[in-house]
Structure 1
Amino acid sequence: MTRSYIAFLRAVNVGGRTITMERLRGHFTELGLGDVRSYIQSGNVFFTAEETDRAALTARIEEHLAAALGYRVPVMLRTVDEVAELVAADPFAGIEVTPQLRLCVVFLSEPLPTESVFPIRGPRGDWEIIGAVPGAAFTVVRLRNGRLGGNPAAALPGSYRGHGTSRFFHTVVKILNAARR
């Protein structure tokens, strides 16, 4: 049975690590994945695969990208249906969006520590993790002087040993819509 996946890549086209989406799609195609497409320059790749072992598929993609690019690219792999469930759950319901507020989904490679108690607030009050599910944390970020104070994935507790990559919630909705096309 073929599954439709979305790969959320961390550290793509930031910090001097640049890659064209055409080249990135080529790396996914080299792995024998089907219907490979991408969305915007921040490392969102859609594809189909017969593989159902997510850990093995993630490891295969990460190993291939590391060999091809010369640096590690953590991959948070989700099915299109899982992203649809996340969006439908509306994790930010009841939060009034203002020009100084950003709603972010941090896709996680591992669940947050079980001792996590929400909300988890940043020491400067510029972010808070309001909740989480096993594959994602929901973060509200307050702008300082009109700018993000950093990557919302950095808001993860120090005891967290996995990886995270963040996307604005409205971008996650756009990614889901593009993946469904």
Structure 2
Amino acid sequence: MTTTWVALLRAVNVGGRTVKMERLRELFADVGLVDVRSYIQSGNVFFTDPAGLDRAELGRRIEAHLAEALGWPVPVLLRTVEELAAVVEADPFRGVEVTPDVRLLVAFLTEPPPADLELPARTKRGDVEVIAVTDAEAFAVGRIIDGRPVGKLEPVLGKGWPGQVTARFFHTTVKILAAARKG
């Protein structure tokens, strides 16, 4: 059985680092990946790898090619469709009231969260509250406070945490999974 991968990219189409999805799909194909598709403009790419590389090597190759082609580093967080389905099925947000000022976030991590992270964990400002974690994700409730957008999750993980994070709204994660399954 062929694995369908979901690449969740960080630093694409934010902060002036713009790349059209057609170009992004071409860059993935350049690495030898097939059945390449994308979902919305925030760097979600689906593909299969006929070479059958392991996750670490596959991620390194994609990151190196994107950095060379685009001129900036693009962290690539890979999940299988099954792993993404487990994230959606876990849904630790049950019971969280969504209001216009509340955002439900899934933070995809390259490294496990700190073992001593006590939940719930909040930023000093209180705009991000991590309510659950796995070895590869953190589930956070973001709050817009005084009209200021939700901040970053990294401060909750601590200065010594060595990983990278890319976040998606939970409802977007559900849509990414549905799109990935359509392949």
Give the alignment's TM-score, normalised by structure 1.
Answer: 0.95
Match of 2:47 in 1: 47
Match of 1:3 in 2: 3
* Match runs of 1:104-119 below 5 Å: 104-119=105-120
Percent of paired sites with the same residue? 57
Q: Could you report, residue by residue, the CA deviation over 1:133-152 in whole angstroms, capped at 9, with x for unpaired residues?
A: 01110110111234423344
RMSD of aligned Cα (Å): 1.4
Match of 1:169 in 2: 170
| Unmatched runs of 5 consecutive residues or more in structure 2 | none
* Match runs of 1:60-139 below 5 Å: 60-139=61-140
Please, which moves more after superposition, 149-158 or 97-106?
Answer: 149-158
Write the letter of the residue equivalent to 2:136: G
**Whole-angstrom CA distance in 1 between matches of 2:20 and 2:155:** 25
Q: Could you report, residue by residue, the CA deviation over 1:46-104 in whole angstroms, capped at 9, with x for unpaired residues?
A: 00114251001001100111111111100110001100011011121221111211000
Q: Could you report, residue by residue, the CA deviation over 1:113-136 in whole angstroms, capped at 9, with x for unpaired residues?
A: 111111111111111111110111
CA contact (8 A) 1:108 1:162 kept: yes
Match of 2:18 in 1: 18
SS of the equivalent of 1:37 reads: strand
SS of the equivalent of 1:41 reads: coil
Assess, with a 3 A threshold, how the Cα gap between structure 1 residues 153 and 6 changes in structure 2: closer, same or farther.
farther
Write the letter of the residue equivalent to 2:40: I
Q: Could you report, residue by residue, the CA deviation over 1:133-181 in whole angstroms, capped at 9, with x for unpaired residues?
A: 0111011011123442334455432221110000000000000001111
Give the alignment's TM-score, normalised by structure 2.
Answer: 0.94
SS of the equivalent of 2:98 reads: coil
| Unmatched runs of 5 consecutive residues or more in structure 1 | none
Write the letter of the residue equivalent to 2:28: F
